[in-house]
Amino acid sequence: MKARIHITLKKGVLDPQGKAIANALSHLGFDGVEEVRQGKYIEIDLADGDKAQARAKLDAMCAQLLANTVIENYTVELQA
């Protein structure tokens, strides 16, 4: 079972790296870029088993380590 986890900064949290990327894009001539927010993408391979249990486990992983919920949100996508 493969899980894809996206970690993004919460709304309202300043993202200086995203701003720098937006600036670089405009220097390259890409116009119309209104905002860039940078995040993280994590893939986890899990032993096959009960999907609901896997989801609960992944949720706990995110809350305890993978994301810092003070500043970040996360989404978990589970593939068969």
Residue/partner pairs of 29-33 with CB below 8 Å, 24 or more apart: none
- For other proteins, the binding residue among 26, 53, 68, 75 (CB under 8 A) is 68
Tell me: does residue 71 bind other proteins (CB under 8 A): yes
3-state SS class at 76: strand
Tell me: does residue 65 bind other proteins (CB under 8 A): yes
Tell me: does residue 13 bind other proteins (CB under 8 A): yes
What does the alpha-carbon distance between residue 7 and residue 69 come to, in Å, rounded to a whole number?
Answer: 10
- Point out which residues bind other proteins (CB under 8 A): 13-14, 16-17, 20, 64-66, 68, 70-71
